[in-house]
């Protein structure tokens, strides 16, 4: 039988056990609640810190940065131990001992808060600071502190101490728009975080409490004092010796501020890069500004800067008032990468990028909409085909040449070189607008126009400089079309490649047509006046102007689109809004000179090709013989020949040694052609003595089958 005392003891023990279990249960429940509430506060996505995206050239030069917070994330093992120690010494000496909150510090802070009857002292650990910066507002309230503690405890369970410290050192703000230890080292000392000295690390650690208040730039005395406090804390914690502390405290701040980049010439190109990243890689600007991507682009910095500087010169922009604008784009002929792009004069990021603005292309459209497609009708048209050149009305479309002069007929070659309007419109009417537009579609130019104005670039919406560069590339590259691009590769914040550009070519014109167009466009440039530029190496291209709609005989748009064996480029000048008060006072000679001048500058940087190399698979295209009336025709007798005396017809030869001369005997009815000689300036006639016959000479072009007007008539007496 159990004694009363024993029963009493058992009941007491039972209640003790129940109480202990309850306490433990409540503690566990409370802890679980803390963990739960902490998990609700911690946003997993926020643990991936916003990082700076860099735009780099192929050789690794960083040309621009995009960021929401200017940060370069680095792993903890790249941050020196003495830098880590500096933060722990001044911010959270028991960092490696607590589980998110420091009870001793909390007790001290609570005591002071109670005495003051308000929240006056913080006791935040590094983990709590990280939580506050990532997930909470920076207000001093008991509610916020409770949330901070719960989230800190949860975070300590989720991450290791090393992971927490790494996040903290990469997240922390250092003033002047700088986030993270790596960017801070770059900005204040022009070095990597891995190269920071003890004193430099202490200076940066001291800024954690008040980055603006302890800025070594704005408040050097306070920053120096704070640095020395950190060094003393490190020595007190046994992290450095007293000798090291004293040596470091005796040093100056030692700032080596990173030189601020001022690269306005990049903005136009950067605009194209961001748009391309959004279109091709589905990376919106917000993601680019926080994703820490590395974007490799095709820009050539020296060419881009040269173009930008040239755009500051008024000489290339002949407007009747200030504000004449321009656009320029240059593409690598082989790959399609854009190596330079200028969207306007004094362009800043976010402005209208005129590289991608539609304009009426004027005569630059003739090769694309008329001559190229016509030559694709093999057996119907060749560069030597004769086209009507008389002022006329084609359908309901009246057309005249710019100089209002006409030759009755002209070869396609000469029509293109001299930019005649009448033959171009006639030819478009002949091949058909739907047929011509089918080639424009292949060139990725989708126009709604359905009239003959297409031949002269008189489009309703127009095309962009970038469109024209892509299209002209077909002539430069054996008839193959390729889309222009800026981005070569994109790497994510782990340096994993997530995008690589792949070019896809498609044939639009045959290699023969492309070569024929190149030869004609080369001659078009060669025939330009010296005022259009003096670039002496290989260049083919076409000018274009459009008539101002409100001001008679003045220019609205002026163009040059052309290519070398290396590059394809387009330049446009004009006004954004062409009202009666804004017009160009000069034409296409100005963008042409701009192109020739920039090629001259590029040639100084790296020599460009002297000539276009004909592909082995195509036939050469000879320039038409420039036929002209033969002058100074004379008839004489000379000794020699079978008949002892011969008749001699002589004349002054043309400069073109390929010229063929036809000698005619004048007769009643149909004159008789008695001879045809090439490159000669005389012809001998046997048995001509005392016959008193009349002769004349013409020049003949074997390519176009045209004869010149007849020379004066001579008589052998």
* Element spanning 592, H or E: helix 589-605
CA geometry: angle 193, 198, 202, nearest 5 deg: 85
**Strand-pair partners of 327:** 572
Task: Report the DSSP pairing between strands 53-57 and 62-66.
Answer: antiparallel
Phi, psi of 203 (to 5 degrees): -60, -45
Handedness of CA 149, 153, 158, 161 (dihedral sign): positive
Nearest to 152 by CA among 174, 171, 168, 141: 168
How many Å apart are CA 663 and CA 695, to the nearest integer?
7
Q: Which of 124, 268, 363, 650 is catalytic?
A: 363
How many Å apart are CA 618 and CA 375, to the nearest integer?
14
> Which tokens in the block code for residue 672?
């008789």
Cβ partners under 8 Å of residue 281, min gap 6 = 487, 490, 498, 499
Nearest to 361 by CA among 229, 258, 460: 460
Query: What are the angstrom distances between the C-alpha of 255 and each of 236, 278, 365?
Result: 26, 39, 58
Nearest to 41 by CA among 168, 136, 137: 136
363 is catalytic: yes
Please give the DSSP secondary-structure letter assigned to residue 367: I
**Strand-pair partners of 180:** none
681 is catalytic: no
Please give the DSSP secondary-structure letter assigned to residue 608: P
How many Å apart are CA 709 and CA 275, to the nearest integer?
59
Instruction: Report how many helices (DSSP H) and strands (DSSP E) the chain contains, helices first.
Output: 21, 26
> Do the beta carbons of residue 588 and residue 544 sit within 8 Å?
yes
In sequence order, what E strands does 317-395 have? 325-332, 338-342, 386-389, 392-394
Tell me the HSE value of 503 on the side-chain side, using a 13 A CA sphere: 19
Q: Which of 91, 156, 248, 478 is catalytic?
A: 91
Name the 3-class secondary structure at 572: strand
Query: What are the angstrom distances between the C-alpha of 143 and each of 87, 526, 716?
Result: 27, 80, 122
In sequence order, what E strands does 380-496 have? 386-389, 392-394, 397-399, 408-411, 480-481, 487-491
Residues with catalytic function: 91, 363
């Amino acid at each position: 039988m159990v004694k009363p005392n024993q029963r009493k003891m058992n009941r007491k023990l039972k209640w003790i056990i129940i109480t202990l279990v309850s306490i433990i249960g409540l503690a566990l429940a409370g802890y679980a609640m803390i963990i739960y509430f902490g998990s609700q506060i911690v946003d997993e996505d926020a643990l991936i810190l916003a990082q700076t995206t860099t735009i780099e050239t192929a050789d690794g030069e960083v040309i621009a940065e995009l960021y929401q917070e200017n940060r370069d994330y680095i792993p903890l093992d790249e941050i020196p131990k003495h830098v880590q120690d500096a933060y722990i010494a001044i911010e959270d000496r028991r960092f490696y001992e607590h589980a998110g909150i420091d009870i001793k510090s909390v007790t001290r802070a609570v005591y002071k808060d109670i005495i003051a009857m308000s929240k006056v002292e913080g006791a935040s650990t590094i983990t709590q600071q990280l939580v506050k910066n990532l997930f909470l507002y920076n207000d001093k309230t008991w509610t916020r502190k409770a949330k901070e503690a719960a989230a800190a405890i949860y975070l300590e369970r989720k991450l290791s101490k090393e992971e927490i410290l790494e996040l903290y050192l990469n997240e922390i703000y250092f003033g002047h728009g700088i986030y993270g230890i790596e960017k801070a080292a770059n900005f204040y000392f022009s070095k990597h975080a891995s190269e920071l000295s003890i004193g430099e690390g202490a200076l940066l650690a001291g800024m954690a409490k008040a980055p603006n208040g302890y800025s070594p730039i704005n408040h050097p005395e306070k920053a120096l004092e704070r640095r020395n406090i950190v060094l003393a804390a490190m020595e007190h914690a046994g992290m450095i010796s007293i000798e090291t502390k004293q040596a470091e405290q005796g040093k100056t701040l030692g700032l080596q501020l990173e030189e601020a980049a001022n690269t306005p010439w990049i903005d136009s190109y950067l605009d194209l890069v961001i748009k391309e990243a959004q279109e091709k890689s589905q990376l919106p600007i917000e993601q680019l500004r926080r994703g820490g991507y590395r974007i490799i682009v095709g820009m050539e910095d020296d060419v881009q800067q040269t173009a930008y500087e040239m755009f500051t010169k008024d000489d290339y922009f002949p407007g009747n008032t200030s504000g004449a604008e321009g656009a320029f784009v240059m593409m690598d002929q082989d790959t399609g990468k854009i190596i330079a792009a200028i969207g306007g004069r004094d362009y800043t990021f976010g402005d209208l990028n005129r590289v991608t603005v539609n304009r009426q292309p004027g005569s630059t459209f003739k090769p694309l909409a008329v001559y190229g497609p016509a030559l694709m009708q093999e057996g119907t048209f060749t560069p030597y085909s004769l086209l009507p050149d008389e002022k006329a009305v084609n359908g309901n479309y009246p057309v005249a040449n710019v100089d209002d002069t006409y030759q009755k007929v002209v070869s396609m070659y000469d029509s293109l070189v001299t930019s005649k309007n009448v033959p171009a419109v006639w030819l478009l009417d002949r091949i058909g607008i739907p047929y011509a537009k089918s080639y424009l579609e292949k060139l990725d130019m989708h126009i709604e126009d359905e009239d003959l104005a297409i031949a002269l670039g008189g489009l309703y919406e127009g095309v962009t400089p970038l469109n024209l560069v892509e299209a002209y590339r077909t002539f430069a590259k054996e008839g193959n079309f390729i889309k222009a691009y800026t981005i070569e590769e994109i790497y994510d914040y782990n340096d994993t490649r997530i995008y690589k550009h792949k070019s896809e070519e498609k044939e639009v014109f045959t290699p023969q047509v492309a070569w024929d167009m190149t030869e004609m466009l080369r001659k078009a440039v060669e025939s330009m006046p010296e005022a259009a530029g003096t670039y002496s190496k290989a260049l083919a291209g076409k000018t274009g102007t459009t008539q101002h709609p409100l001001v008679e005989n003045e220019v609205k748009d002026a163009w040059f689109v052309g290519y070398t064996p290396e590059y394809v480029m387009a330049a446009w000048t004009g006004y954004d809004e062409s009202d009666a008060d804004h017009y160009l006072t000069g034409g296409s000679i100005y963008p042409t000179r701009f192109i020739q001048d920039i090629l001259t500058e590029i040639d100084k940087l790296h020599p460009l090709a002297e000539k276009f190399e004909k592909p082995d698979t195509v036939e050469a295209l000879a320039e038409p013989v420039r036929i002209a009336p033969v002058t100074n025709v004379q008839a004489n007798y000379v000794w020699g020949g079978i008949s002892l005396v011969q008749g001699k017809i002589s004349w002054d030869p043309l400069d073109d040694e390929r010229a063929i001369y036809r000698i005619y005997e004048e007769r009643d009815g149909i004159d008789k052609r008695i001879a045809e000689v090439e490159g000669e300036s005389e012809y001998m006639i046997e048995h001509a003595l005392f016959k008193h016959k009349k002769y004349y000479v013409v020049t003949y072009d074997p390519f176009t089958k045209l004869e010149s007007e007849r020379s004066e008539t001579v008589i052998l007496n």
